[in-house]
Amino acid sequence: MSRTQAPSNGGAPPLLGIYGTGQLGRMLALAARRMGVPVLTAGDDAVGSPCGQVAEPVPDLEQFLARAEVVTTEFENVDPEVLARAACARPAASVVHTCQNRRREKAFLSDNGLPVVRHQVVEGVDASGLVAALERFGLPAVVKTAAFGYDGKGQWVCRDTADAAAVPSDRQPFVVEELVELALEVSVIVARGVDGATVTYPVIENAHRDHILDVSVAPARIPPTLAAQAESLAVRAAAALDAVGVLCVEFFVTAAGELLVNEIAPRPHNSGHLTIEAAPTSQFEQQLRTACGWPLGATAPFRPAAMANLLGDLWVDGEPDWAAALCVPGVALHRYGKADARPGRKMGHLTAVASSPAEALELVLDARRRLTQRP
């Protein structure tokens, strides 16, 4: 049996295994429960985790692999060898292996003619060697670790050679990128089925704070030609990876109006959370459909929507005022079941739907402000 072809069991859905225990797995498991698909979640912290609260937690990885008929993942920083050992993995281990490392990912994008920022791999250097490499490459630049980077972790902006002192030399190899002048950042959620069928959601506009996604707005307020180009590039990337599942392709839009692929997440993405309320088929149901080998769901009509992340910082003065936020019309609340609210930790999100992207953004920001407005 192929590792990308789920077993046939008379039309019944397969036992789905989620390799990971966080909020993305939680929202996938909730979509699965609605559609009657049994779900396991694997990880040392599976019991009581965000995903483990709504799926069957299986701390023992060997037991998880023995039971799951098809395995998917909610995070790319996992061991691809585990996916390779699964009876069926969607996405395949090769997809995760490529996307979890910036060096491999940049090579994949360049080899397939997808536009990327000018970059160079640097390895085996001490502090003075990194300074020399940056001088040869050109400043300003961004230094990124090749592996284990997300939400701004493992990234250092170097505007001059003195900034290189902040880069720990034990985090090599590095990918050095040109610091481009940005107009904005956008993302495209794309789903690709076992048969190669592909659907995309309208382009999403993203704003970050302290390198963590703060708000997303859809559809993005960009020219239609640019939106069409972003969707086309996302489809090309998914096809080149031969991915089965949901991907998020993140783009820089330069000040000159050029699209550059920043990175690919081989899973549902924070920016796509608004599809739960705004689209006929959410990104999580789409991931479920691809894992089960079912037809892809509709992505349009698409209601204008905005999403605002809720970080642990909101708890600094006590429990947020949930009722106050929910007084705002068109707003939905999602909490991730995390007990420990730490600064910078994603605890949940708010989504607002409205008649225009601008109105949705105004509503969701108003709702978030109300969470901490004390009498």
Per-position DSSP letters for 304-367, written without gaps between them: -EEEEEEEGGGGTTSS--HHHHHTSTTEEEEE---S---TT-EEEEEEEE-SSHHHHHHHHHHH
The answer on pLDDT for 228 being more than 70 is yes
**Predicted pLDDT at 5:** 54
Enclosing domain of residue 80: 16-89
Q: What is the mean pLDDT of residues 244-266?
A: 97
Model confidence at 242: pLDDT above 80: yes
Residue 44: which pLDDT band, with cuts at 50, 70 and 90? confident
Domain of 172, CATH number, reads 3.30.1490.20
Task: Mark whether 195 and 274 lie in a shared domain.
Answer: yes
pLDDT at 10 over 50: no
For CA atoms 257, 261, 265, 268, give the dihedral sign. Answer: positive
Looking up tokens 């998914």, which residue turns up? 238
The predicted-structure confidence for 97-126, as pLDDT tens digits, reads as follows 999 999 999 999 999 999 999 999 999 888
What is residue 151's predicted lDDT score, i.e. its pLDDT? Answer: 66
Do residue 38 and residue 55 come from a single domain? yes
What is the distance of C-alpha 252 from the center of its chain? 15
pTM for this predicted structure: 0.95
For the stretch 163-186, pLDDT in tens is 998 998 888 899 999 999 999 999
Residue 164's alpha-carbon distances to 167, 245, 349, 370, in angstroms, are 5, 38, 35, 41
297/273 Cα distance (integer angstroms): 16
Average pLDDT, the chain: 94
Number of compact structural domains in the chain: 3
Residues 32 and 144 occupy one common structural domain = no
Above pLDDT 70, what percent of the chain? Answer: 96
In a shared domain, residues 165 and 193: no
- What is the per-residue pLDDT for 6? 53
162 Cβ contact partners less than 8 Å away, ≥ 6 residues apart: none
Confidence of residue 63 (pLDDT cuts 50, 70, 90): very high
Residue linked to tokens 């992505």: 299
Domain CATH for 28: 3.40.50.20
Structure tokens at 126: 């001490």
| CB neighbour class for 325 (10 Å; exposed up to 12, middle 13-18, buried from 19) | buried
Structural domain contains residue 124: yes
Exposed/middle/buried for residue 3 (C-beta within 10 Å: 0-12, 13-18, 19+)? middle
* Three-point CA angle 208, 213, 214, nearest 5°: 75
Q: What is the dihedral of CA 190, 193, 197, 198, to 10 degrees?
A: 0
pLDDT in tens, 204-215: 999 999 989 999
pLDDT at 247 over 90: yes
Instruction: Examine the domain organization and report whether 135 and 217 are in the same domain.
Output: no
One domain for residues 82 and 186: no
**For residue 249, is pLDDT > 90?**
yes
Q: Are strands 141-145 and 174-178 parallel, antiparallel or unpaired?
A: antiparallel
Tokens of 17: 């295994």
Length of the chain: 375
pLDDT for 1? 39
